[in-house]
Structure 1
Amino acid sequence: MESLIGFIISLAFAIFLFIDAPRHNKSRWLWAILGFIFGPIALGIYFIKTGRKVAGWIITILAILFYIVIIVVMVLAVALFANGFS
């Protein structure tokens, strides 16, 4: 179920970038592929490159912080399982 939600969100980013990119003279296929693979980071960079800098930086920073938190939680979980909970 979680992977389906992630797939739908990535697909939504890709569709938005595919539709919006020609308005700013950008390659629609390139940005759609980047949006599908990299998600919110690609969306933030796209906003920065198209002049919506505040929204772009907010999205990019929040996405990076989210990914860092996920990585830290995963490292802590591995450390707890390796060393035990005591």
Structure 2
Amino acid sequence: MKGGLGLVISVVIAIYLAIDAPKHNKRSWLWAILGLFFGPIALGIYLIQTGRKVLGWIILVVVGLLYIFLIFLFIAAIFLLQGM
């Protein structure tokens, strides 16, 4: 998730994890760093670990499907450019 919007989303997730982690006896700095680098994936894992399993799994599945879709789109673009 590079670019302006991805960076903003990752920073917001990192801030949320840093604030919420101490409430669940987790290290706030660790989850903030993970949230900054891995964004929604870290948020999904954090939610699963803190007992909010349904929301965490929904986030992980949606993000996983989006990444798979982007990979297939990238591969299709390569094949289309090679055909030209």
Shared fold, TM over 0.5: yes
1:82 CA drift (Å)? 1.1
1:48 CA drift (Å)? 0.2
State the superposition RMSD in angstroms.
1.0
Gapped runs of 5+ residues in structure 1?
A: none
Q: TM-score, normalised by structure 2?
A: 0.94
Between the aligned partners of 2:48 and 2:24, the Cα distance in structure 1 is 12
| 1:46 matched to 2:60 | no
Q: TM-score, normalised by structure 1?
A: 0.92
- Residue 20 of structure 1 corresponds to 20
User: Once superposed, which parts of structure 1, at least 4 consecutive aligned residues long, lie more than 4 Å away?
Assistant: none
Between the aligned partners of 1:63 and 1:18, the Cα distance in structure 2 is 21
Between the aligned partners of 1:7 and 1:56, the Cα distance in structure 2 is 21
1:6 CA drift (Å)? 1.1
Secondary structure at the residue paired with 1:13?
A: helix
- Residue 29 of structure 1 corresponds to 29
Aligned residues: 83
